[in-house]
Amino acid sequence: MSVPDIPLEDRRFLFITGKGGVGKTSFAAALAYAMAQRGKRVLVAMCGAHERLSGMVGAPPIDHEISKIGDGIWATRIDPTRAMEEYGELVIKVKTLARAVFDNKYTTTFFRAVPGLHDWAMLGKAWYHTTETLDDGRPRFDLVIFDAPSTGHGLDMLRVPKVILDIVPPGVLRRDAEAAWALFKDPVRSGVVVVSLPEELPTTESVELVTALRDELELPVVKLVVNAVQHPLFSAEEHAAFAARPALLEVLQDDAVDAGERALSVAARRAAREQLQAACIARLEAAVGLPATRLPFLLEGAGTPEGTATLAAAL
Ligand SMILES: Nc1ncnc2c1ncn2[C@@H]1O[C@H](COP(=O)(O)OP(=O)(O)OP(=O)(O)O)[C@@H](O)[C@H]1O
Ligand SMILES: [Mg+2]
């Protein structure tokens, strides 16, 4: 599938996924920050019981209610049970009736029977925020960034709208799933962003993830992000010189070894790490057919407002 070359800030919905711990939330925070600086109104919607975003932007803890966490940035941590209730209210229109229906054990059983309905409540809620408008008719948010679960669960979540289209009879649930799916498949207005690390396993997993997203779900993968990239220190000649002395990688770091040799060995290890990193990024880009956006490795970590600002500057 060819994806039009449209900047991320001109899209309405981005689904951020990737292996656990690769930096999805750090990237989502940095992207929101960068987009807000370009004048966009951005909502970051997250799932999961724990959130690290508030620390990354220096805001109070984020819960289910949408809160403003910076200039042009809002956030919500979507709670699946509350999302289901709200969805029931939307479908049924009357709050008390919705409560009664959702308390009813038969409806609860029915909802359990629809596979992944909790996932859909979260994804559907994130999608719903793309449809909201302000009094003057402008969208409430220019861009919704969905900080999705990692690889396996992220894929399962994206499978749900299709399941609903396959098994649920016409009605509100189906109508919304159709509208959401149409947005997710639209390579102009939406897209999936895959975040990875410049290491062997995350690279392999990212290639598999992109394949599943494209071949099985037929969704547009609009960006690859390789996070925590070490700034290259050595020239091609220096790499060649290190490669000619592989024994340097075996030098022990103890007092018995000459200090100069120890320092050279540390440099050789760093050079080897840079080579591995470059090879992983090249493998990912070749397999996926997209250039990777590189985010720098931050010695002090990415969990602070300063870290977020540094990553945002790299976008
Ligand atoms: N560029 C970076 N440099 C250094 N540390 C980083 C960088 N990006 C992320 N980290 C650190 O890696 C850890 C994981 O980052 P983050 O929470 O963004 O990952 P995640 O993919 O959202 O994880 P999860 O799958 O648990 O949601 C955090 O401690 C974060 O500070
Ligand atoms: Mg996260």
65 in a structural domain: yes
C-alpha closest to that of 278 among 190, 212, 200: 200
- The ligand minimizing its distance to the Cα of 17 is 1
301 CB near ligand 1 (under 6 Å):
yes
122 in a structural domain: yes
Helix axes of 172-185 and 80-92: crossing angle, nearest 10 degrees: 120
CATH code of 199's domain: 3.40.50.300
- The ligand minimizing its distance to the Cα of 296 is 1
297 CB near ligand 1 (under 6 Å):
yes
What is the model's pTM? 0.91
221 CB near ligand 1 (under 6 Å):
no
The one-digit pLDDT tens for each residue of the chain (315 residues) are 667 778 888 899 999 999 999 999 999 999 999 999 999 999 999 987 788 899 998 999 999 999 999 999 999 999 888 888 787 776 666 566 556 655 666 556 656 666 678 888 889 999 999 999 999 999 999 999 999 988 888 898 999 888 888 887 787 778 888 999 999 999 999 999 999 999 999 999 999 999 999 999 999 999 999 999 999 999 999 999 999 999 889 887 777 778 888 899 999 999 999 999 999 999 999 999 999 999 999 999 899 999 999 999 999
Q: Sort strands 67-70 and 73-77 into parallel, antiparallel or unpaired.
A: antiparallel
What gap in Å lies between CA 151 and CA 56, rounded to an integer? 22
Ligand 1, residues 47, 52, 62, 147: which to mutate, most atoms within 8 A of Cβ? 52
Q: What is the CA(281)–ligand 1 centre distance, in A?
A: 18
Element (H, E) at 30: helix 24-37
The pLDDT score that the predictor gives to residue 128 is 92
262 in a structural domain: no
Residue 213: DSSP 8-state: I
- Within 10 angstroms of residue 74's Cβ, the number of other Cβ atoms is 21
257 in a structural domain: no
The pLDDT score that the predictor gives to residue 276 is 96
Going through the chain in order, the beta strands assigned E by DSSP cover 13-17, 42-46, 67-70, 73-77, 143-147, 190-196, 221-229, 292-296
309 in a structural domain: yes
273 in a structural domain: no
Please give the tally of structural domains in the chain.
1
Q: What is the span of the domain harbouring residue 141?
A: 10-231+281-313
Q: Whose CA is nearest to atom 15 of ligand 1?
A: 23
214 in a structural domain: yes
Cβ–Cβ < 8 Å for 206, 176: no
The pLDDT score that the predictor gives to residue 93 is 60
151 CB near ligand 1 (under 6 Å):
no
What gap in Å lies between CA 194 and CA 118, rounded to an integer? 23
The pLDDT score that the predictor gives to residue 107 is 58
22 CB near ligand 1 (under 6 Å):
yes
148 CB near ligand 1 (under 6 Å):
no
Q: What residues contact 130, with CB distance under 8 A and at least 6 apart?
A: 12, 13, 139, 141, 144, 183
Atom of ligand 1 nearest to the CA of 227: 1
